[in-house]
A and B are shown apart, each in its own frame.
Chain A
Amino acid sequence: MADASYPDDLLYHPEHDWARLDGDTATFGITWFAQDALGEVVFVDPPEVGTRVTMGEPYAEVESVKAVSDVIAPLSGEIVEVNTGLADKPEAINEDPYGEGWLVRVKLSDDGERDGLLDAAGYTATLS
Chain B
Amino acid sequence: MLSEIGVRSLDELFDRQIPAAVRLQRPLDLPAGMAEQDVYEHLRALAARNTSAEDEISFLGAGMYDHYVPAVVDMLMERSEFLTPYTPYQPEISQGGLQVMFEYQTAISELTALPVSNASVYEGPSAVAAAAYLAKLANGKPKVVVSRGVHPHARAALRTLAAGYGHEVVEVGLRDGVTDAAAWAGAIDQDTGAVIFQQPNFLGAVEDAAALAAAAKDSPAVVVGSYDPIPLGILKPPGEVGVDVAVGEGQSLGNRLDFGGPSFGYFAATDAYLRRMPGRIAGETHDVDGKRGFVLTLQTREQHIRREKATSNICTAQALNALAGVVYLTWLGRHGLVELGELLLQRTHYAREALTAVDGVEALHEQPVVREFALRLDAPVDRVIARCQDAGINPGFAIGREYDEYPDGLLVALTERRSKEHIDRLADILGAAVAAERHSAGVSA
Whether a CB of chain B sits under 8 angstroms from the CB of A49 is no
Whether a CB of chain B sits under 8 angstroms from the CB of A110 is no
- From A1-9, A61-69, A77-85, A116-124, the one touching the partner chain is A61-69
Whether a CB of chain A sits under 8 angstroms from the CB of B300 is yes
B313: shortest Cβ distance to chain A, in Å? 15
* Number of CB contacts from chain A to chain B under 8 A: 16
Interface centre among B275, B300, B301, B309 (most CB of A within 10 A): B300
Interface residue count on the B side (C-beta < 8 Å) = 6
Whether a CB of chain B sits under 8 angstroms from the CB of A33 is no
State the CA gap A68–B308 with chains docked (Å): 12
Chain B 110-127 residues near chain A, CB threshold 8 A: none
**B139 to A, closest residue via Cβ:** A48
Whether a CB of chain B sits under 8 angstroms from the CB of A113 is no
A35: shortest Cβ distance to chain B, in Å? 16
State the CA gap A45–B301 with chains docked (Å): 13
Q: A67-B300, A68-B300 are in contact. Are A43 and B275 (CB under 8 A)?
A: yes
A63: shortest Cβ distance to chain B, in Å? 5
Whether a CB of chain A sits under 8 angstroms from the CB of B383 is no
Q: Within 8 Å CB of A63, what residues of B? A: 275, 300
Q: Within 8 Å CB of B275, what residues of A? A: 43, 45, 63
Whether a CB of chain A sits under 8 angstroms from the CB of B334 is no
Whether a CB of chain A sits under 8 angstroms from the CB of B42 is no
Whether a CB of chain A sits under 8 angstroms from the CB of B305 is yes
Binary contact track A24-46/B, C-beta < 8 Å → 1, others 0 = 00000000000000000001010
Binary contact track A54-78/B, C-beta < 8 Å → 1, others 0 = 0000000001111110000000000
Binary contact track B292-326/A, C-beta < 8 Å → 1, others 0 = 00000000110001100100000000000000000
Chain B 153-196 residues near chain A, CB threshold 8 A: none
State the CA gap A102–B305 with chains docked (Å): 26
A28: shortest Cβ distance to chain B, in Å? 21
A90: shortest Cβ distance to chain B, in Å? 12
**A63 to B, closest residue via Cβ:** B300
State the CA gap A43–B297 with chains docked (Å): 14
State the CA gap A126–B301 with chains docked (Å): 30
Q: Within 8 Å CB of A67, what residues of B? A: 300, 305-306
A110: shortest Cβ distance to chain B, in Å? 24
Q: Within 8 Å CB of B301, what residues of A? A: 68
State the CA gap A63–B311 with chains docked (Å): 14
B370: shortest Cβ distance to chain A, in Å? 39
Interface centre among A66, A67, A68 (most CB of B within 10 A): A68
B47: shortest Cβ distance to chain A, in Å? 48
A18: shortest Cβ distance to chain B, in Å? 24
Binary contact track B26-49/A, C-beta < 8 Å → 1, others 0 = 000000000000000000000000
Q: Within 8 Å CB of A43, what residues of B? A: 275
**A65 to B, closest residue via Cβ:** B300
Q: Within 8 Å CB of A64, what residues of B? A: 300
Q: Within 8 Å CB of A45, what residues of B? A: 275
**B309 to A, closest residue via Cβ:** A68
Q: Within 8 Å CB of B300, what residues of A? A: 63-68
**B311 to A, closest residue via Cβ:** A68
B90: shortest Cβ distance to chain A, in Å? 15
Q: Within 8 Å CB of B306, what residues of A? A: 67-68
State the CA gap A66–B301 with chains docked (Å): 10
State the CA gap A95–B252 with chains docked (Å): 50
State the CA gap A113–B309 with chains docked (Å): 29
Q: Within 8 Å CB of B305, what residues of A? A: 66-68
State the CA gap A64–B306 with chains docked (Å): 12
State the CA gap A43–B300 with chains docked (Å): 11
State the CA gap A67–B300 with chains docked (Å): 5
State the CA gap A38–B301 with chains docked (Å): 15
**B305 to A, closest residue via Cβ:** A67
Q: Within 8 Å CB of A65, what residues of B? A: 300
**A70 to B, closest residue via Cβ:** B309
State the CA gap A64–B305 with chains docked (Å): 12
B22: shortest Cβ distance to chain A, in Å? 43
Q: Within 8 Å CB of A68, what residues of B? A: 300-301, 305-306, 309
Binary contact track B388-430/A, C-beta < 8 Å → 1, others 0 = 0000000000000000000000000000000000000000000
A126: shortest Cβ distance to chain B, in Å? 25
State the CA gap A63–B275 with chains docked (Å): 10
State the CA gap A51–B437 with chains docked (Å): 64
State the CA gap A64–B299 with chains docked (Å): 11
A79: shortest Cβ distance to chain B, in Å? 15
A residues sitting closer than 8 Å to B (CB atoms) are 43, 45, 63-68
Supply 14 further A-B pairs (C-beta < 8 A) apart from A67-B300, A68-B301: A43-B275, A45-B275, A63-B275, A63-B300, A64-B300, A65-B300, A66-B300, A66-B305, A67-B305, A67-B306, A68-B300, A68-B305, A68-B306, A68-B309
Offer 14 A-B interface pairs, CB within 8 angstroms, sorted by A: A43-B275, A45-B275, A63-B275, A63-B300, A64-B300, A65-B300, A66-B305, A67-B300, A67-B305, A68-B300, A68-B301, A68-B305, A68-B306, A68-B309
Nearest 10 CB-CB pairs, A to B? A68-B300, A63-B300, A68-B306, A67-B300, A67-B305, A43-B275, A68-B309, A45-B275, A63-B275, A66-B300
B residues sitting closer than 8 Å to A (CB atoms) are 275, 300-301, 305-306, 309
